[in-house]
Structures are given as C-alpha cells and as structure tokens.
Amino acid sequence: MSISLRHQNRINGQWLHSCTARDYPLYDPADTRCHVHSYPLSAERDVVAGVESAAGAFDHWRKVPVAEKAAIMRRAAQLIEDNREQIARLITAENGKLLKESQSEIDSTIAELLFQVGEGERQFGRANQSHQGASWGFTRLEPLGVISVIVPWNFPFNVPFRKLVPALMAGNTAILKPASQTAGVGETVVHILTEAGLPCEVLQFVTGSGSELSDVLVASSGVRAVTFTGSTYVGKCIAKQSAQQFVRTQLEMGGKNPVVALADSDINLVAEQVAIGAFSCAGQWCTATSRLIVEKPIYEELLGELLRRAETIALGHGMDPAATMGPVCGELQLASVLGHIDKALHQECRLVLGGARSGDRCLEHGCFVEPTVFEVKDASADLSREEVFGPVLTVEIAQDYEHALALANAVRYGLSSSVFTRDLDRALDFSERTETGMTHINMHSAYKEPQFSFGGIKESGFGLPEAGSTGIQFFQEEKVVYLRR
C-alpha cells in the first residue's frame, strides 16, 4: 500500500471538497517558506452531513462480530508497520518533530492499537441469579452511537488511533476532526483504516478550524459522545456545551507537570530524565516536564548538570540526523511560546538558559525556540502555573519534602508528576499525595504504557481516561436485562 493523500473531506464514503470551496495552507514548521499542502476549510453543513452518514452506518456496524472488527484493526496495525517510513516523514513535515520522534510515535500507536483490540475482545457482560430465585439477570455492553473525535497536532497519529480503535471495537461510528496543522496525518489514519477493511461510512473525516467546527461537533443531534484532546480552555467550552445536550465527554487537556528531586536522588539520573521530559518534541506534549522542584542541598549541583545537558541540544530540521530538537509547530505556536518567555522576563523569573528564537541563520525561516530554563523565586509567577507547551522549564528551590510536595500541587492542573529519591517510603507517600492522574518514581513525567489508563484530574482531565481498561469503557453503556424463567 502506498498512501496517496486526497486533501479533501471524506463524507458518506466519498472524498469531497467542503461546501465553502475554500482551502487553508499548511507549512513546514522547520521552514515556513515550504508549502506542504492545503486542506478544506469546512463549515457546519459538512459536519452535519458527516454525522448523518455515521448515524446511518451505526445499525450495521454495531452488529458486525467482534472478531471481524478485531481482524480489521490488526490489519491496520500491519499497514502502519508496512508504511512506517512514509507516515513518519509526513508527521515530521506537518508537526516538525524529529524523524526518530515520529517513528517512536508510530511504534507507540501500534502497541496501543493492539492492546485496545484485545480489550475489545475481552468485553463481557455479567450474569447473576435474582434474589427472587425464579428469575435471573444479566448485563449487556452496548455502543453509544456517533462519536465526535477531536484530536491535537502534537501527537497527530497516535491520539486518533488511541480514541478510534476502542470506539470502533465497541461498535460505534465516528467523525474525525484533526488539528488544522496536521490534517494530512489525520487523512492518513482514514486511509489506513479503510484499506484494512473498515466500511467507508463508519468513519467520517472533516478538516478546518476547530473554533468554527467544535460547536456542531458537540451539538449535532446525532452525536452521542465527544472525545477531545487539547487545551483546557477549549475543553471547558466543550464541557459546557455538551452538558446542555447531555452528550458524554472525555477530555484530555493541559498540564503543568512537576518533577520533584529530593536531596538523596541520583543527580545525573534526574538531569538526564528532566532533559528528556522537558525538551523532547520541543516540549510539546501534555505530559512534558515543565517544572523542576529541587530540595535545597542538591539545588546548585543539579541545576549545573541540567544546564550542561541542555546546552548540548542541537536545533535542526526534523529530517536532519544531527538535530536533537526540532521546531515548535508553526508560527502561532512560536508566538505563543515567545510570549510566555517575554512575560516571565518581566516577573520574578531569572533566565539561565536560552529564552529566544534561534539565532542560527540556517534556521531563520523555521519556528525554532532555544531550550529555555528559568529560575523561579516566586511560585505565583505565571510561568510556574500556566502551560507553555514549548521547550521551557522552570526550576524552584524547596526547603524540604513537604515544601516540595506543596509546590508540586499548587497549580490548577493535575496530569502527571515525578519524584526522584532513594527513599521508598517517601516515594510511596508522594505517589499517594501528588494531585495528578499519573505519577512516576525515578523517571520523567511523560512515560506511559498502553495497558494503563492515560488521563488527568483537576483541570487536566474530565470523564473516563483514555487507554488501558477504561479506553473502551467510555464508548459503552451497560444495559441490565431481567428474565423470568
């Protein structure tokens, strides 16, 4: 299979332009002079048509045996593997991340896909004898209907499959809305599933502005659930509107993820892991390490080792094998990250590394931000509390463990965290008291595996989390059946 992009919506099994007849361009974040391709600026009418088509396919798809659904998904996994290099290059062209980071995203996609297929095959209801003795009851796990799937640009291949596979295995149909910046990757997801044997009408695909389409993706009368990954602001808007429609929601949103380094921790290990967590993918993952909180006795030594490692990071095009960090994803994201840095420079934050757009003339047409580290003396500074979504790390001193834990929890987000220590009791205490949906001991904050749920608390997550055993549960409802014998 060779994937040939159509640069169109797909509605009711047909590749179509939007009703607006307007396109928007996508540019390479590493060189914004390079036009990658263009996609339709869709309108409400396009989404409504897609939802209606998905609704029409639901009754047939829900009855397809689980074994047939699983076979389609496993063929999709093989197609991903067969086209790994082409897909990775497209992710890098649209998102900007290093080619090896794109390849890693693909590997993670396959692992998560196969796990969710297995979960779909392991879905069983429960049977119990009635208290009355003359009857018994059992439960059925049933699909919801049409699912709106709204995905981000930072992991544009992994996240659609993380959401779509359990939704489809459960018997739902779906409409996929990719991030504007990575629409080609979103279209690739559709091609793979179609080639694997998914009936065309089961999955619809529309591109365009999220702000213009999100309302109808939530409020359209045929939509039964929305699964969304993106900013907390947009997530709150979706939650508010979905509540009015009684539409089920799954929201995976922002993070301000702390790493706590206690005085007995391995300094080299902490520096290594924090550099990975803060600067991989140019800091553009929701579980990125964005805060380092260090007990006072090791603060200076750890900061020095971290800076030494960060200074070796080589900015460059994602296809350049010598590069160790790529650009941020486009000019809007570049302006946002630089805006956070400028604001920090006017608050109680001391810049100790980076803090600017790359001055390398070879990179002047790309969206490159230097790896940036700030020392923060005032924990109330915006940079310590608000998500930047770029290669920017804050470092804070903690007087002791309790102070470090208080600093770690003193934000509105609650996605991921980490603690570094040789003290098992402290590590387990941290795992109990950290206010996050996932936490780590002696590893960076972004690590995950497919058999465990992925999601946050506070303003980082709402609804059942993705992946793990809850991945498919969100897309099902339980019906109880009573039977008189």
Catalytic residues: 252, 286
Q: Which residue(s) pair with 116 in the sheet? A: none
Measured in degrees and rounded to the nearest 5, phi and psi for residue 234 equal: -65, -40
H, E, C per residue of the chain = CCCCCCCCEEECCEEECCCCCCEEEEEECCEEEEEEEEEECCCHHHHHHHHHHHHHHHHHHHHCCHHHHHHHHHHHHHHHHHCHHHHHHHHHHHHCCCHHHHHHHHHHHHHHHHHHHHHHHCCCCCEEECCCCCEEEEEEEEECCEEEEECCCCCCCHHHHHHHHHHHHCCCEEEEECCHHHHHHHHHHHHHHHHCCCCHHHEEECCCCHHHHHHHHHHCCCEEEEEEECCHHHHHHHHHHHHHHCCEEEEECCCCEEEEECCCCCHHHHHHHHHHHHHHHHHCCCCCEEEEEEEHHHHHHHHHHHHHHHCCCCECCCCCCCCCECCCCCHHHHHHHHHHHHHHHCCCEEEEECCCECCCHHHCCCCCECCEEEEECCCCCHHHHCCCCCCEEEEEEECCHHHHHHHHHCCCEECEEEEECCCHHHHHHHHHHCCCCEEEECCCCCCCCCCCCECCEECCEECCCECCCHHHHCCEEEEEEEEEC
Q: Whole-angstrom Cα distance, residue 79 to residue 84? A: 8
Structure tokens at 180: 């504007």
Type of residue at 139? T
The distance of Cα 179 from the centroid of its chain, to the nearest Å, equals: 11
Please tell me the total number of residues recorded for the chain in this structure: 485
Nearest C-alpha neighbor of 234 from the set 213, 256, 255, 253: 253
Report the distance separating Cα 21 and Cα 193, nearest Å: 27
